[in-house]
Amino acid sequence: MKKVFLLAPLVVLLALQGYAQHTPTVEMFGGYSHDRILSAGSGEPVHSNGWEASANWNLNHWFGLKADFDGSYC
């Protein structure tokens, strides 16, 4: 029983640390992709290049708006 009383304050302190995390107002991401696909007919590889861009606007710590765009080209 003594161990429980010693462990409980430690658990509470660790939980408070997660509550103190900061939520950024704006988050942005950009990425590139490359795919190598084997053609069904000839078996030759087809190379595809692509991109992705996204932005997230956090209005508060639990609600945000996101725009996400991507494209892929052979």
Number of independent structural domains in the chain = 1
Domain that holds residue 39: 24-74
65 lies in some domain: yes
Specify the DSSP class assigned to residue 20. T
36 lies in some domain: yes
57 lies in some domain: yes
Q: Are 59 and 72 in contact (CB under 8 A)?
A: no
| Cα end-to-end span (Å), the chain | 66
Q: Which of 5-9, 12-16, 44-48, 66-70 has the lowest mean pLDDT?
A: 12-16
Tokens of 33: 């992709």
The whole-model pTM stands at 0.58
Tell me the C-alpha distance between 32 and 53, whole Å.
Answer: 9
Q: What is the pLDDT of residue 23?
A: 80
